[in-house]
Amino acid sequence: MSKRTEQISGTHQRIIDAAVTLHGSVGPARTTIAGIAEKAGVTRLTVYRHFSDDEALFSACSSHWLSQQQLPDPEEWSRHTEPHERLTVGLSDLYRFYRDGDAMLVRIYRDWDSLPQKHRSDLESRNTHFRDVLLEAFPERNRNPRLSATLSHGISFWTWRSLCHDNGLSNDDAVEVMCTLITTAVGVKERPDAPTLENTGARRP
């Protein structure tokens, strides 16, 4: 019984690994059950025995990939109360995550319409939470649609990719550009002693 359980567990993990590999190479839209089965060395029926539908398989794939990443930590951002400082820490953390996970993330966001609805909703909720954590550092008088829009733009994966992947900026330069854009857009002046990346303790890429 123990050996049988081990075999089932091994097959289950091979299917997940195959799905992760294909999602990160050809993208979710081009990943098929047949392709996953072939890469995992099993039949399509075996895949369906382990995962009842595409959503279950995508969920397992997503959870496995995320477990291998250093995820953004908005609780850490919240420790910084000054707006520019929190922006610097938060965007630095996000942009590091985007750079580390670029190969997978670009395909996930490119194939957005192919993702299960639940996972699209989860990603949207996560980004809303990231934006709101950054928003909370700003005075009430500055919390308006312009600030919300520029914050949403700043935390977008595609914003990072345009600045850094497409146009060659370092993460540090991209963070500085976006912090300036966001604070200028709402008239929040940077303090003379505003933190740099070095003295916030944020990690460099």
Domain spans, the chain: 2-67, 74-200
Say what the pLDDT of residue 199 is: 54
Taking the C-alpha atoms of residue 146 and residue 139, their distance in angstroms, rounded to an integer, is 14
Say what the pLDDT of residue 112 is: 96
Say what the pLDDT of residue 187 is: 74
Instruction: Give residues with Cβ within 8 angstroms of 66, minimum separation 6.
Output: none
Taking the CB of residue 137, how many other CB atoms lie within 10 A of it?
20
Taking the C-alpha atoms of residue 157 and residue 107, their distance in angstroms, rounded to an integer, is 11
Backbone angles phi, psi at 195, to 5 degrees: -70, 150
Say what the pLDDT of residue 103 is: 96
Say what the pLDDT of residue 90 is: 98
- On whether the 2-67 domain is CATH 1.10.10.60, my answer is yes
Whole-model pTM: value is: 0.86
pLDDT digit string (tens) for the chain, length 205 residues: 465 555 567 899 999 999 999 999 999 999 999 999 999 999 999 999 999 888 999 999 999 999 999 999 999 999 999 999 999 999 999 999 999 999 999 999 999 999 999 999 999 999 999 999 999 999 988 889 999 999 999 999 999 999 999 999 999 999 999 999 999 887 766 554 554 555 555 555 5
Integer angstrom CA distances of residue 29 from 52, 71, 100, 111, 123: 18, 24, 22, 6, 17
Say what the pLDDT of residue 189 is: 60
* Sole residue written with tokens 């709101």: 132
Residues in the chain: 205
Say what the pLDDT of residue 159 is: 98
Q: Which DSSP string corresponds to 81-136?
A: -SHHHHHHHHHHHHHHHHHHTHHHHHHHHHTGGGS-HHHHHHHHHHHHHHHHHHHT
The crossing angle, in degrees rounded to 10, of helices 83-100 and 102-110 is 90
Are 120 and 108 a contacting pair, CB within 8 Å?
A: no
Residue 203 corresponds to which tokens in the numbers above? 């990690």
